[in-house]
Amino acid sequence: MEFPVCVGVLALQGSYREHMTCLRKTGVQTVVEIKKPNQLEGIDGLIIPGGESTTMALVAHRWGLIDALREFAASGKPIWGTCAGLIFLAEDGEGMKAGGQELLGGLHVTVQRNFFGSQIDSFEATLTASAALGSDDDQPPRFRALFIRAPAIISAKPSVEVLAEWVIPEEERAKAGRDKVIVAVREGRLMATAFHPELTDDYRWHKFFAKMCMEEATRADPTKAFDADTIPFTENVHSVDLPVFSQTHFCALDKK
């Protein structure tokens, strides 16, 4: 069964093609690139992908997208930000570049840019997610998370639902000043992840977002009603055009 919705992916810079492929594999009926304000019309949800957050903000401003994106967010339609997209959605940020950058806001969290270090500190980890993500058994869902020059959420208001956390290794806690950070959240129709689900062949995060889009579309138009629980987990099947990785491993390099 498909998700009969149209999901847009902000296609200014970053891993937007990977997101589009994952959405198609998940069964989303229509997936479109978003580069102009008028392309936001008629979509049921939007993904803001990973990339370089300052560059994306500058391009979005130059192309007249900032106000249109804010209007889209105010409409109540679902938005999912990954990595740089998380920074875009945050109400507040630390470690931003001098002069600041445009933020859409709406997600009541404080995000720390580049919390996990620079590009060479990229790594992957197996984490536990909220039961809302879904699993094939009765155990808490586990998933593979790829962190690439990633931000982290260092505080969140009570209205924010925490979907996943990363426990900081004991030897790094004193420097970080905390035991753990939040890496996935949902607040209303906004969702954000510090990691890159689009670079793996686990499509549960994309299915989770597609269900959010479907639920909102159904509320707005009851003729789209469906039973999300009848949609099975998408099998991890590769094709020649699937730009995701199942065996690649990232590791942090010692800086000397």
Phi then psi for 228, rounded to 5 degrees? Answer: -60, -30
Q: What is the C-alpha separation between 195 and 239, in angstroms, rounded? A: 23
Is the pLDDT at 60 greater than 60? The verdict is yes
Instruction: List the alpha helices (DSSP H) in the chain.
Output: 16-26, 53-62, 66-74, 84-89, 173-176, 204-220
Least confident of 11-15, 27-31, 207-211, 243-247: 243-247
Of 248 and 218, the structure prediction assigns the larger pLDDT to 218
Of these ranges, 45-49, 119-123, 226-230, the one predicted with the greatest mean pLDDT is: 45-49
Is 171 an annotated catalytic residue? no
Is 198 an annotated catalytic residue? yes
Question: Residue 110: which of 72, 153, 78 has the closest Cα?
Answer: 153
Considering the candidates 83, 124, 165, 216, report the single residue annotated as catalytic. 83
Of these ranges, 45-59, 126-140, 213-227, the one predicted with the greatest mean pLDDT is: 45-59
Residue with the two structure tokens 């019309």? 41
Considering the candidates 18, 22, 165, 196, report the single residue annotated as catalytic. 196
What is the reported pTM?
Answer: 0.84
Considering the candidates 198, 206, 213, 216, report the single residue annotated as catalytic. 198
Is 238 an annotated catalytic residue? no
Percent of the chain topping pLDDT 70: 81
